[in-house]
Amino acid sequence: MGAPASLEDQVLEVGRDLAAALPSAARRPLRALDDRAMDLATQDAELRAALFRFVDVVPACRGVDDLARHLTSFLGEVGDHPPPIAAAMRVSGTKAGRAALGTAAAAGVRHMAHRFIVGETPERAAKVITGLWDRGIATSVDLLGEATVTRAEADAYAARCAAALDALHRVHAPLPARSALEQDGLGPIARVNLSVKVSALTPLLKPEAPELGKRDAATRLRDLLRRARDQGAHLHVDMESLDSREAVTDLVLELLAEPEFAEGPSAGVVLQAYLRDSPDLARRLVRFAGETQRAHPLLVRLVKGAYWDHEVVEARQHGWSEPVFTVKAQSDANFEALTRLLLEARAAGTPLRPAIASHNLRSVAHAVACSRALGLDDQDLELQVLRGLGDDLQDALATRGLRVRTYCPVGDLVAGMAYLVRRLLEGTSNESFLHERASGVPLDELLAPPA
Ligand SMILES: Cc1cc2nc3c(=O)[nH]c(=O)nc-3n(C[C@H](O)[C@H](O)[C@H](O)COP(=O)(O)OP(=O)(O)OC[C@H]3O[C@@H](n4cnc5c(N)ncnc54)[C@H](O)[C@@H]3O)c2cc1C
């Protein structure tokens, strides 16, 4: 069922206004080069696959010669080379050529990584965080690293998270007050916002034994919740692939309902709209927010979902029906339905903070228009983007006085490789909004309702 005409008009108006506020490509010449490289990869599926495999092995490479060997061997499997790649292949025949190629390749990967990763440590990310705050943009810091294998790794990740909370507290304490980022109709909003992954807090998160993983992660997550509460920080739990969704959701909601966390911290979970059964989880979250006596509203970050390829492959391997929508427009339409569901709960007085996380101008414009149509104030809606993919949108939203939070990954290249590959996959997917926009699809087509 389509939205009423007046809401559609509003979506168009908000979307056109945001589009007018997007910075022009000329202001970011280096970004245009990256986009060109991404474009090359989008046009050629084999090249795309080869580059992803290369990015995966970069951290394990012993030196530039090794890097060049891997790069040329992956690229060697690609049928026809576009001219820049053919030139690279030609120089790889000599040791000196391989060294030059390896150095260039390593620099390229590092450059790409810096687009998405703000620093190796929270201290090194301080300049970016402070700069964004000065421009009216809040952040959520994500410590890179996922899927730990041993308890020692999980302990180390938990310790890094605890240290990050302390460091972020020091970074944010001297920042000037910004009421638009620190207050909404439900009360104060924490300055420090840390995103964590449960798969990094325990090596035991297995679908066949969810209780074991939950119990093991609970001890580490409980400590982080205590620390966040004592410092007045927000702790957000990211969502990963479907096989851990139930354990992660149960774990977070059970801990937040414990009496010791009634007064804090502010905390949140993630809802993935590409999952066919996501409306059930959305209703559960709304019920939890309404029924659980907590001093802080539950923050629900609505996303489409970053593990689409994984979920499809996994289901097909087992002969299961796909748990995700397989037509992109269905994910987009469900995203809008869930946006409305969360905003309606908020408008009805449920202590819940919807955070709409998307780089899709249509999805974002729909959220803003829907929120206004429900009589909510703009400050009651949070919009979120990823560093590196949503920089232009982030600036446009801040220019228009909307509250925007940028998700800023922190960590080294090795820890960041899985993250980087997911972002590259997104950036080079033919179906992604960003790709459609970059390929010149007219604005009103981009803003049309998902069909
Ligand atoms: C601040 C922030 C935090 C995030 N945190 C998480 C998180 O915790 N967990 C998580 O999983 N993701 C997370 N994401 C990533 C998010 O799920 C999306 O992958 C990403 O934002 C792209 O969606 P989009 O709306 O920006 O772009 P769009 O281009 O509009 O949508 C792309 C998305 O559509 C879906 N899709 C693609 N092809 C198809 C298809 N054929 N059929 C059906 N659906 C399809 C996929 O979900 C894909 O990511 C986060 C994103 C942001 C901005």
317 burial type by CB count under 10 A (0-12 exposed, 13-18 middle, 19+ buried):
exposed
According to the model, what pLDDT value does residue 41 have?
A: 64
Q: 242 alpha carbon to ligand 1 midpoint, in Å?
A: 14
Ranges 97-111, 182-196, 319-333, 370-384: which has the least confidence: 97-111
Q: What is the mean pLDDT of residues 380-397?
A: 96
Q: Which atom of ligand 1 is nearest to the CA of 335?
A: 25
pLDDT in tens, 220-258: 999 999 999 999 999 999 999 999 999 999 999 999 999
Helix 361-373 crosses helix 5-21 at what angle (to 10 degrees)?
Answer: 130
Nearest 10 degrees: CA dihedral of 346, 348, 349, 353? 0
Task: Return the percentage of the chain with pLDDT > 70, whole number.
Answer: 91
Q: What is the mean pLDDT of residues 302-330?
A: 95
Residue closest by Cα to atom 45 of ligand 1: 328
According to the model, what pLDDT value does residue 81 have?
A: 67
According to the model, what pLDDT value does residue 99 have?
A: 76
| CB count in 10 Å sphere of residue 401 | 11
According to the model, what pLDDT value does residue 26 have?
A: 53
Q: Which atom of ligand 1 is nearest to the CA of 273?
A: 47
pTM for the model stands at 0.92
327 burial type by CB count under 10 A (0-12 exposed, 13-18 middle, 19+ buried):
exposed
According to the model, what pLDDT value does residue 42 have?
A: 64
Contacts of 400 (CB under 8 A, 6+ apart): 17, 18, 21
According to the model, what pLDDT value does residue 80 have?
A: 67
Q: Which atom of ligand 1 is nearest to the CA of 390?
A: 53
Q: 360 alpha carbon to ligand 1 midpoint, in Å?
A: 9
Integer Cα distance of 76 and 135 in angstroms:
45
Q: 274 alpha carbon to ligand 1 midpoint, in Å?
A: 8
Residue closest by Cα to atom 9 of ligand 1: 239
Ranges 19-28, 279-288, 377-386: which has the least confidence: 19-28
Q: 305 alpha carbon to ligand 1 midpoint, in Å?
A: 4
Q: Is 14 helix (H, G, I), strand (E, B) or coil?
A: helix
**C-beta of 9 in contact with ligand 1 (< 6 A):** no
pLDDT in tens, 116-175: 899 999 999 999 999 999 999 999 999 987 678 899 999 999 999 999 999 999 999 999
Helix (H) or strand (E) holding 193: strand 193-196
Q: What is the mean pLDDT of residues 282-305?
A: 97
Q: Is 323 helix (H, G, I), strand (E, B) or coil?
A: coil
According to the model, what pLDDT value does residue 108 have?
A: 75
pLDDT higher at 335 or 451: 335
Residue closest by Cα to atom 15 of ligand 1: 306
DSSP string covering 337-352 = HHHHHHHHHHHTT-SE
Integer Cα distance of 20 and 7 in angstroms:
20
pLDDT in tens, 153-162: 999 999 999 9
Q: 100 alpha carbon to ligand 1 midpoint, in Å?
A: 36
pLDDT higher at 435 or 3: 435
Q: Which atom of ligand 1 is nearest to the CA of 434?
A: 29
Q: Are 380 and 184 in contact (CB under 8 A)?
A: yes
Q: What is the mean pLDDT of residues 207-222?
A: 94
**C-beta of 358 in contact with ligand 1 (< 6 A):** yes
Contacts by 78-84, CB closer than 8 A, 24 or more apart: 78/44, 78/46, 78/47, 78/50, 79/46, 82/40, 82/43, 82/44, 82/47, 84/40
- Taking alpha carbons only, the member of 273, 272, 270, 276 closest to residue 320 is 276
pLDDT in tens, 32-59: 556 666 666 666 777 777 777 777 777 6
Q: What is the mean pLDDT of residues 85-112?
A: 75
**C-beta of 106 in contact with ligand 1 (< 6 A):** no
Which residues share a beta bridge with 300? Answer: 269, 354
**C-beta of 363 in contact with ligand 1 (< 6 A):** yes
According to the model, what pLDDT value does residue 109 have?
A: 75
According to the model, what pLDDT value does residue 103 have?
A: 78
According to the model, what pLDDT value does residue 419 have?
A: 80
**C-beta of 303 in contact with ligand 1 (< 6 A):** yes
Integer Cα distance of 306 and 104 in angstroms:
29
According to the model, what pLDDT value does residue 4 have?
A: 55
- Taking alpha carbons only, the member of 381, 342, 410 closest to residue 165 is 410
According to the model, what pLDDT value does residue 332 have?
A: 98
Q: 90 alpha carbon to ligand 1 midpoint, in Å?
A: 38
pLDDT band at 95 (very low <50, low <70, confident <90, very high): confident
Number of residues in the chain: 451
Q: 365 alpha carbon to ligand 1 midpoint, in Å?
A: 16
**C-beta of 360 in contact with ligand 1 (< 6 A):** yes
